[in-house]
Amino acid sequence: MPVLYAADTPKAAVCETILHSVPLRNGKILYPSFADGVAATIATTRELKLAAFMGDGLRVLGTDAGTLSATTASQYSRTVRWAEAAYKSGFHGVVWMSYRRNTDAAFVLFGDRVGVRDLTPTTTGGVIFSAGPGFDWLVSHC
């Protein structure tokens, strides 16, 4: 199924994509892994129903962040099953606190439930990672 990953901030977006599988210590990021990367800002044009894998949502599910959302990439196959359950329950996507930047929310939107007409680009906050100020910003962040 197609999905769109998003985050509250460009820094959280980088943490959930480029840095997702990079070890916290002694990790390396190779230029090809982000050379075609762009962080763009979007807004929704309608209300979306999201499963909350954070806050009270975790309590309702009877679990905690350490089991569901604050996990390493090696646990991805297990966390995907939670997203599948949210999908089967009719949600448009899920929201959780970014594991690598737990001050910001991360999102996955299900592509067959959220289409291009449901999202609109905004004019602020975009970052091109390959060169110039965007590259400098990415290096500073990482």
Q: 58 in a domain, yes or no?
A: yes
Q: Which residue has the higher pLDDT, 30 or 61?
A: 30
Q: pLDDT at position 65, please?
A: 75
State how many domains the chain has. Answer: 1
Report the share of the chain in percent with pLDDT over 70. 97
Q: Are 26 and 126 in contact (CB under 8 A)?
A: no
Which pTM was predicted? 0.83
Q: 67 in a domain, yes or no?
A: yes
Q: pLDDT at position 72, please?
A: 67
With a cut of 80, say whether residue 64 has pLDDT above it.
no
Q: 8 in a domain, yes or no?
A: yes
Residue 76 to residues 37, 64, 71, 109: CA-CA distances in angstroms?
22, 16, 8, 17
The H or E element containing residue 59 is helix 55-61
* Of the candidate ranges 45-54, 72-81, 91-100, 128-137, the one whose mean pLDDT is the lowest: 72-81
Take residue 49 and report the two structure tokens written for it: 């129903």
| Range(s) of the domain holding residue 117 | 3-20+37-141
The H or E element containing residue 139 is helix 132-141
Take residue 64 and report the two structure tokens written for it: 């905690």
